[in-house]
Amino acid sequence: MSVARFIADQRTFHRVPHTLACALLGVSISWLYKWLQRAGSPDGGTTATEQRRTRLDAAVGVAFDAAQRLHGSPRLHADLREAGWQVSEKTVADSMRRQGLVARRIKRRNGLARQDRAT
């Protein structure tokens, strides 16, 4: 349960003034009003940042699958930039980390030739 939901429930069910509950919990009243306004919005209370993050996660997932799960964040960053996204490499890496996407490592063969072992 979130702090704001707790304060709202205290006000509704126990008639505890929200100003008192905010003061006791160390939360500003303006934050509570902001939360209440967001909670009543039709998009479910998500912020613009959260909405963009959701769209970016979907785009990273699609690009990762299109790259056959081979590319890491530097290459996916380049692919997303070509697709028109304005995003940093670290943001792509964070998105991959959130989704648990890990690029496959390319197995490289070690050289079989040995240097002169006579010495």
- Band (52; pLDDT cuts 50, 70, 90): very high
- Band (59; pLDDT cuts 50, 70, 90): very high
Is residue 79 a contact partner of residue 71, using CB atoms and an 8 Å limit? yes
CB 9: neighbour CB atoms within 10 A?
A: 13
Is residue 57 a contact partner of residue 98, using CB atoms and an 8 Å limit? yes
pTM attached to this predicted model: 0.62
Is residue 36 a contact partner of residue 25, using CB atoms and an 8 Å limit? no
Residue bearing the bigger pLDDT, 116 or 66: 66
| Model pLDDT for residues 94-109, shown as the tens digit of each residue | 999 999 999 988 788 7
Is residue 119 over pLDDT 60? no
Q: Which of 4-8, 50-54, 94-98 has the highest mean pLDDT?
A: 94-98
Is residue 39 over pLDDT 80? no
Is residue 112 over pLDDT 90? no
Is residue 8 over pLDDT 90? no
Domain ranges for the chain: 3-39, 48-99
CB 71: neighbour CB atoms within 10 A?
A: 19
Of 77, 62, 72, residue with least CA distance to 102: 72
